[in-house]
Structure 1
Amino acid sequence: MSNLTTPFRYDYVGSFLRPEKLQKAREAFETGTISAEELKKVEDECIIQLVNKIKELGYHVITDGEFRRSTWHLDFMWGFEGIEHKKTVEGNTTFDAEAAMIDDTYMVGKISVKEHPFVEHFKFVKALEDENTVAKQTIPSPGQFYAYFTGIQLLEDTLNIYGTEEVFAEDVIKAYSAFIREIYAAGCRNLQFDDCVWGGMVNPKIAIALTGRSGEALEEYKKLILKLNNDVIAQAPQDLIINTHVCRGNYHSTFFSSGAYDGVADLLFDEENVNAYYLEFDDERSGGFESLAKISGDKKVVLGLITTKRPELEKKEEVIKRIRQAAKYIPLDRLYLSPQCGFASCKIGNKLTEEEQWAKLKLVKEIAEEVWG
C-alpha cells in the first residue's frame, strides 16, 4: 500500500474529460446497443490510459477521472438504499443561464448503504498505484448529500419519510460512516469531500433560494452542515486523510454561484476538521485571499488558480504573483496548487480539448516546481 498522502504541491481535483471512445460507449449502453459488461470494458481501458497519462506527467495522485459516473455527486447517491433516479426531461438546475441535463434524483425510503459500487471502482484504481502514486476517492460531502434532500424542492418528500430533519441527519452520518468503513477496508487512505454547499452559501440570494431559509434559520442550517461533515470525519479511522473541495458549480464551463469565501470562512475554514481545502480562485467570482487568514491549525490550502472552464493558458508570472499574495494570509509551506475544479464534473465536460486539459496540468506542475522547488 502506498503511504503517500494528499495534497501534493501540484495536484488536481479529480475529474477529467471523457474520451470520445467512452462517450460513444456510454451512449450505446443507454440505447441498449451494448451490455453493461461491454461498457465496463471500455471504462477500464480508458481509466488505465488516463492513469498512465497522469503518471507520465509526473503527478503523484491518481483517480479514475470519474469516468464511471454521469455526475460528480448523483451517482454516489444512487449507490444508497432508499434513493432512486430517472432521466430528466428538462434541465433541472440553472448554471449561469444554462440548464443542466442531469437525472432527477429522489428518496423513496430511509437511506442506508452496503456494498456501495464506488468501493469496487476504487479497488480498480488502487491496483494501479506504484511507489510514486496514491489513489484518492472523491465523493460529495455529507453536507452536500443532506442539503440536496433538504433543499426547498425536496424537503417535503424527506419529511414525509423521516418526520424531522434531525432524524434524517442521523441517518446521513450512519450511512456515510458505513461507506467509509467499506472503502477504508478496500485500502483507501485519501478521501475527498466535494462540496458545493459552501460555494452556494457564499451568495446570500442563492443560499435563501436553495434552502428556503433566511436569517437565524439559515445560520443554524450552516452550522448543521458543518456538524454533519465533522461528525462523519470524527467517526472515520484516524489514518484516513480527508480533504474537501469547495467551489461554486461547474457544468459545461458554466458556474452556479459567485462570491468570496468571507461569508462562510468562520465555519468552513476555522471549524471544519479536514486536512486540506481545495479552493476555487480562478477569477473575480471567487474574491480575494483575505479569508484564508481564518484557516485554523496546520490545515493546508490547495489554491485553484488555473481554470478548467476556459482553454486559454494562464500566464505563469501572474499565477506566481497570486500565490505570493495568498502567502500573506497563510504560510507558503501550507499552500499547494491545482486547477480550480475538475475538468468534467458531469459527463458532458467543460469546453476545452483533452490536449488543452493536459496543458493546464503541465502548467500547474511547472509553476509548483518553480515556487516550491
Structure 2
Amino acid sequence: MLIPTEPIGSIPRSPELVEGLSAFASGRIGQAELDALTQKAIADTISRFEATGSPVVTDGEQAKSSFATYPLDGATSLAGDGAVIPFADGHSRQLPRLTEGPFRYASFAEKYFRGVSQHTDLPVKQAVIAPSALSLLYPADEIAGYSRDEFLADLADQSEADIRRCLDAGASSVQLDFTEGRLSLKLDPSRGLLRSFVELNNEVLDRFSAEERRRIGVHTCPGGDQDSTHSLDIDYAELLPDLFSLHAGRFYLQLASEPDRERVLRIIAEHAPADAQVFVGVIDPIDPRVETPEEVRDRVLEAARHIPADRLGTCDDCGFSPFADDTSTSRDTAFAKITARVQGTALAREALGI
C-alpha cells in the first residue's frame, strides 16, 4: 500500500483498568483481578482499533506500566532515585537507578504481542524501548564490580533479544521508542550524548539483517505526557541529521505539532536515507481538538511535496498515554483522532491518484 498509516503505540487505559491499577498497587485487588481487567481492556482496544479502519493495530500498551520501563517490571537491583525527566508544565518522571549487575530484562515485549494477536487477524505492530533510553539506568558513579562497559554490553544483548523475539513471534513491525533523542540535546547541546545514543542503538540494529531492518523502525518525538512535552523547544534541525544515521528501515516522526512543518520536511528530504520509509505525524495527541480527515489529507499532501509517495507513511505524533496513569486524553478522543488519520490518509491517496 502506498502511504501506509500506523499507530505509534499507547492508547489511554480504560477507566476500569486505571482504577484497577490503583487498587492493585494499594493491595485492594490481586493479580488475577488485574489480569482480567487488562485482558478486557486489550480486547476493547483491538475492537475499537478495527472500527477505525486501521490496517495495523497495537494493544495500546494496556498491559505496560510505561513505554520505557516495562523491561523492569519485576526486576530487582533497582533504586528509585534515577534520572529525572522534566516536562514543560513543571511535572517530571523519574527512572530507576541500577544498583548492581548483571543487567537483565525481567519482561520482554513479545508477551504483549502474543496477548494482542489472539484478538485480531490484522497485522500487529509492537513497540519496544530503545536501548539508549535504558542506558540512563546506569548511575554517574560506577557500580562496584560492574563497569559501564559491561552494562552496555549486557543491555545491547537484552535489547536485541527484545526485538528479535517480537519479529520471530510474527510482529508486522517493531518500533524502537527513541523519545530521549531530542531530550539529549537539551542535556548536552554538543551532541555528544545524542551520538552515543545513536552508536548504542546502531550496535543493536546492526545485529539484524537488511531484510529484518526493513521491519524495524525508530520513533522520535519531544515527549508527550499529561499534555506536556520535554523537548519541543529543541530545534529538529539539531536532531534529524544524526537521527537518520540510525540503521533502521522506518522512521516515525512527530510533525503535526511542529510550528513550521515545511521547514522540517525540507530537512527530512535532505537527510532521510533513500531506502527508508518515513512516517510523518499528522495527528497531535496533546491537542484536545480532533483533527478532521480533510486536515489530515492536507498534511499528507504537504509532506508528499517533499517525500516521494512510495516512501511516505502517516502516524500519530506520539502515543496517547505512554504512562499508565496519564488520563489527560480520553479513549474516545484518541480513537476519534485515529479515525481521522486513517480517513485523511485515504483522502490523500485519492487526491494523489494512487
TM-score (norm 1): 0.83
Which of 264, 268, 272 is 2:243 aligned to?
A: 268
1:119 aligns with 2:110: yes
Q: Within 5 Å, which residues of 2 pair with 1:183-202?
A: 183-201=166-184
Alignment partner of 1:224 is 2:196: yes
SS of 2:109 mapped into structure 1: helix
2:267 is aligned with 1:291: yes
- Pairing partner for 1:94 from 86, 98, 101: 86
Matched residue type, 1:207: L
Equivalent residue, structure 1, for 2:119? 128
- Mapped to 2, the partners of 1:366 and 1:85 lie a distance apart of 46
Partner of 1:332: 309
Moved over 6 A (4+): none
Q: Distance in 2 between matches of 1:85 and 1:75?
A: 16
Pair 1:207-2:195 in alignment: no
Deviations 1:269-305 (A, max 9, x none): 2x21112111111224576322112101221111112
Percent identical pairs in the alignment equals 22
Could you tell me how far apart the structure 2 residues matched to 1:160 and 1:291 are?
44
1:211 corresponding residue in structure 2: none
Q: Secondary structure at the match of 2:321?
A: coil
Contact 2:3 2:310 in 1 (8 A): no
Q: Which residue of 1 aligns with 2:16?
A: 21
Change (3 A) 1:311 1:24: same
| C-alpha deviation, 1:228, in angstroms | 1.5
Question: Is 1:84 matched up with 2:63?
Answer: no
Amino acid aligned to 1:127: Q
* Secondary structure, aligned partner of 2:280: strand
Paired residues of 2:3 and 2:345 also in contact (CA < 8 A)? no
Describe the shift of the 1:330–1:184 C-alpha distance in structure 2 as closer, same or farther (beyond 3 A). Answer: closer
The 3-state SS of whatever aligns with 1:76 is: helix
- Tell me what 1:109 maps to: 100
Deviation at 1:249, TM superposition (A): 0.9
Gaps of 5+ in 2: none
* Residue 32 of structure 1 pairs with residue 27 of structure 2: yes
Match of 2:218 in 1: 244
What is the letter of the counterpart of residue 4 of structure 2? R
Which residue of 2 is the match for residue 149 of structure 1? 137
- Confirm or deny: 8 A CA contact 1:311 1:351 kept in the other structure: no
Structure 1 residues not aligned, in runs of 5+? 209-213
Matched, 1:358 2:335: yes
Paired letter, 1:25: G
Q: CA separation of 1:125/1:140 partners in 2, compared to 1, >3 Å: closer, same or farther? A: same
TM-score, with length taken from structure 2: 0.87
Q: Does the alignment pair 1:281 with 2:255?
A: yes
- Distance in 1 (CA, whole Å) between partners of 2:221 and 2:260 is 9
Instruction: Report how far residue 108 of structure 1 moved.
Output: 2.0
Computed over aligned residues only, the root mean square deviation of the Cα atoms, in angstroms, reads 2.7
What letter corresponds to residue 234 of structure 1 in structure 2? Answer: D
Aligned partner of residue 281 in structure 2, secondary structure: strand
Matched, 1:52 2:60: no
Shift in CA distance, 329/82, structure 1 to aligned 2, threshold 3 Å: farther
Which residue is equivalent to 2:323?
346
